[in-house]
Amino acid sequence: MFASLIGWVRRTWASPAARKFRRNKLAWVGLAIVSAVVFCAIFADFIAPYDPVEIVGPEKAPPSRQFLLGTDDVGRDIFSRIIHAVRLDLGLGLALVGLWTAIGVPLGLIAGYYGGKIDSVIMRVVDGLYAFPYLVFAIAMAGILGFSLKTIVIALGIVGWPQFARVVRGKVLAVKTEVYVESARAFGEKDRNIMLRYVLPNSLAPLIVIMTLSLATSLIIICALTYLLPVGVYLHEAELGSMLSASFGQMRYYWWWATSIGLTIVVIVLGFNFLGDGLRDALDPRLRY
Amino acid sequence: MGMMRFVIRRLLIIPPLLIVLSFFLFLCIHLAPGDPARMLAGEKADENQVELVRKAYGLDKPIYVQYLRWLIGWPGPDPQYIENVPEEYREFYTSYIPKGILRGDLGRSWKQASIAQSIKERLPVTLELTVLALLIAIGMGLLLGIVAALKRGTIVDYLSTTGALFGLSMPSYWLGIMMMLVVLSIFGFMPFHAHHPTASILLAATALGAFHTASIARMTRSSMLEVMGEDYIRTARVKGLSERAVILKHGLKNALIPIITILVLQIPWLFGGAAVLEYIFGIPGMGRLMIESTGVTPASPYPDPIVILDLFLVFMILTVLANLLADILYAYVNPKIRYE
């Protein structure tokens, strides 16, 4: 068991794709940032020196040894808030990408595998959603249904998946005529089994790439929405977009507040973009995203 | 001829699309918490008045009746109930009877302002911002991409490629905020629209266009590199054309195809991004109106679903039209495309 795991790691490490990835410096930077972000999100309680919602110091204290990034307008430690906000936002981003995958991948599989009418109906919807103003839709839904993080994740979830469906469908079309799929069909395997066991694994590489890149996009969108409509998360929870929004009015006097929050968003997004770009160059250079 | 039919067919999709979308959003409005009759009657109204408003405006009717009323203004408010309204309120209830969106009446906001009027005032502002952002993005993106491709491997290429990578990861609202901070620390004022209209629109358009600039520059670089290695470029050079003509007429024109594809993919983002920047810079456009209508700002603490619905439909029309325009441009650059 252990030996086979080591063997797998060694084989993967030596594969051409991994070699390509290893030579890519930006990809390493991305991987480092993403690892740090994930680490912060998991161990937020241990890393953050203070409670993110407790008042722990004077208001608007400048950065010091006691408060690494200073305190906000009611005296909460900005560094601790950012660490906890990273956890919340990363969770939201993952939920959103998960939703896109859960909708897009099956639809892409079905469209590509069965072809014909089903395919053209699904692809019509995909084309339509490509020309759909997501962000405006999410603002509208938040205004109509009342703002909550759940509302925006669901609203963005139902309209943001076409990229996933299109990539999977393209792979399915390429794999469908391979001999092993034909033979599986000849052996009387069920369509569902063929799709899951023979076709889907072939779409994994581009899927991993677009999931990584979409995570960057979803973080930008989520923070944009919570920036615009910060009610609901405003006072209680630490969330990057709403924290940025709160800091905006005070920017004139306390520039480090807005700057540190904004830079956090930029660095995280940059990390996922670098990693995604590196993965794409290594796994599927012809994928355009 | 094929082109004309293609355009007409695409335009014909718009009305059914809007009907389906608006009905969906109407359903959502109906499902939402909160009592529209209470909001319409005002905070000081007692239970009786709220009930009067509910009946007079047909808010007790089923959803499809309300939807029809919003769409074509039929069935109108019940005259019997209007007669029962006490004298002092009658003018309020009868002063405005909706004619329906199909007859050009977009309805009223809770503050009884005509929505059509506010959209008419704000649409040009949003268009100004988005078109300016697109122009900046296309101009800068093409320039940076072409220069990077022609000077491949030099410091210029390196700077523009890295810059583009960063540009892709900068949320536009963050750029907008940083621009404000920079302007504030250098010139000592906040470039809000109310006091500095030109500066605010220019800055907002630059921030909005940054992402698109970056992605156009990236695409231009890679597709120029691809195209400049083709045989027809060598032929053009052998023919003795000036380098400028080779790059612009033969290189760029062929490289434009993937660039326009990327542009089409980004059009839906444009209006959402514009909304965010309008909000930051205080630009009175449609996006800002939409955000204010969600009821988050202290100035208008109530959500105004009908305003949001109308604005969303306008944004939808704009997106579809922008896409159509990009497709026409695409066909113009790539004569191989045929429209079935």
What is the homologous superfamily of the domain B120-339 according to CATH? MetI-like (1.10.3720.10)
Asked if residue B175 has pLDDT above 60, the reply is yes
pLDDT surpasses 80 at A197: yes
Residue with tokens 């925006």: A152
Cα separation of A168 and A203, whole Å? 6
Q: Considering chain B, what is the average pLDDT of its residues?
A: 83
Cβ A273–B291 below 8 Å, yes or no? no
Tell me the chain B residues in contact with residue A141 when contact means C-beta distances shorter than 8 Å: 28
- Considering only A7-16, A174-183, A195-204, which range has the smallest mean pLDDT? A7-16
Q: For B133-144, what is the mean pLDDT? A: 92
Please state the rounded mean pLDDT for residues A266-283: 90
Burial of B89 (0-12, 13-18, 19+ CB in 10 A): middle
Please write down the HEC assignment for all residues of B198-227: HHHHHHHHHHHHHHHHHHHHHHHHHHHHHH
B323 interfaces chain A, CB cutoff of 8 Å: yes
Q: Phi and psi dihedrals of A47, rounded to 5?
A: -80, -45
Radius of gyration over every alpha carbon of chain A, rounded to an integer in angstroms: 22
pLDDT tens-digit map of A99-119: 999 999 999 999 988 888 999
A-side interface with B, Cβ within 8 Å?
26, 128, 130-147, 216, 220, 223-224, 227-231, 244, 248, 251-252, 255, 258-259, 262, 265-266, 269-270, 273-274, 277, 288
Residue B293 has pLDDT above 80, yes or no: yes
Provide the pLDDT confidence category of residue A287 given band limits of 50, 70 and 90: low
A137, A144, A159, best to mutate vs chain B, most B CBs in 10 Å: A144
* A48's tokens: 């953050």
Mean pLDDT value across residues B185-199? 85
Minimal C-alpha gap between A139 and chain B (Å): 7
Is B28 at the interface with chain A, CB within 8 A? yes
Q: Which amino acid is at A275?
A: L
Residue with more model confidence, B36 or A200? A200
* pLDDT of B177 strictly over 80: yes
* Burial readout A120-132 (b: 16 or more C-beta within 10 A, e: otherwise): eebbeebeebebb
Nearest CB to B290: which of A128, A139, A227? A139
In 3D, which of A107, A121, A209 has the Cα closest to residue A158? A107
pLDDT of B35-91, one tens digit each? 777 776 666 777 877 887 777 777 778 888 888 888 887 777 666 766 776 776 666
Contact between A258 and B271 using a beta-carbon 8 Å cutoff: no
From chain B residues 255-294, the ones with a CB under 8 A of any chain A CB are 258, 264-265, 267-269, 271-273, 275-276, 279-280, 287, 290-291, 293-294
- The structural domains of chain B, with segments of one domain joined by +, span 34-105, 120-339
- Average pLDDT on A10-23 reads 80
Separation of alpha carbons A260 and A248, rounded Å: 12
Which two structure tokens, joined as six digits, stand for A84? 């906890």
What single string gives the DSSP state of each residue in B108-125? Answer: B-TT--BHHHHHHHHHHH
* Stretch B205-231: mean pLDDT: 89
Kindly list the distances between the CA atom of residue A36 and the CA atoms of A22, A28, A248, A262, B98, in Å, as whole numbers in the listed order.
19, 12, 27, 17, 57
pLDDT for B143 beyond 50? yes
Question: How near does any CA of chain A get to the CA of B211, in Å?
Answer: 12
Pick the residue with more confidence: B315 or B99? B315
Per DSSP, the residues of A212-261 read HHHHHHHHHHHHHHHHH--TTTTTTS--HHHHHHHHHTTTTT-HHHHHHH
Judged against a pLDDT cut of 70, whether residue B24 lies above it is answered with yes
Q: Which residues, 6+ apart, have CB-to-CB distance to B111 below 8 Å?
A: B300
For residue B340, the model assigns a pLDDT of: 45
Q: Return the pLDDT at B81.
A: 67
Output helix, strand, coil percentages for chain B, rounded to the nearest 5: 75, 0, 25
Residues 6+ positions from B196 with CB-CB distance below 8 Å: B189
Looking at the partner chain, which of B171, B265, B315 has a beta carbon nearest the beta carbon of A136? B315
ipTM summary value: 0.86
The answer to whether residue A198 scores a pLDDT higher than 90 is no
What does the pLDDT average to over A30-54? 90
Q: Which of B54, B112, B48 is nearest to B86 (CA)?
A: B48
Supply the pLDDT for residue B204: 94
Rounded mean pLDDT of chain A? 86
From chain B, pick out residues whose CB is under 8 angstroms from the CB of A128. 17
Contact A135 B296 (CB under 8 A): no
Which is nearest to A101 in space by CA: A203, A227, A254, A239?
A203
Cβ separation A135–B303 shorter than 8 A: no
> Most confidently modeled of A110-119, B27-36, B233-242?
A110-119
Helix boundaries (H) for B32-94: 36-41, 47-56, 63-72, 79-84, 87-94
pLDDT value at position B52? 75
Q: Exposed, middle or buried, B337 (CB in 10 Å: 0-12/13-18/19+)?
A: middle
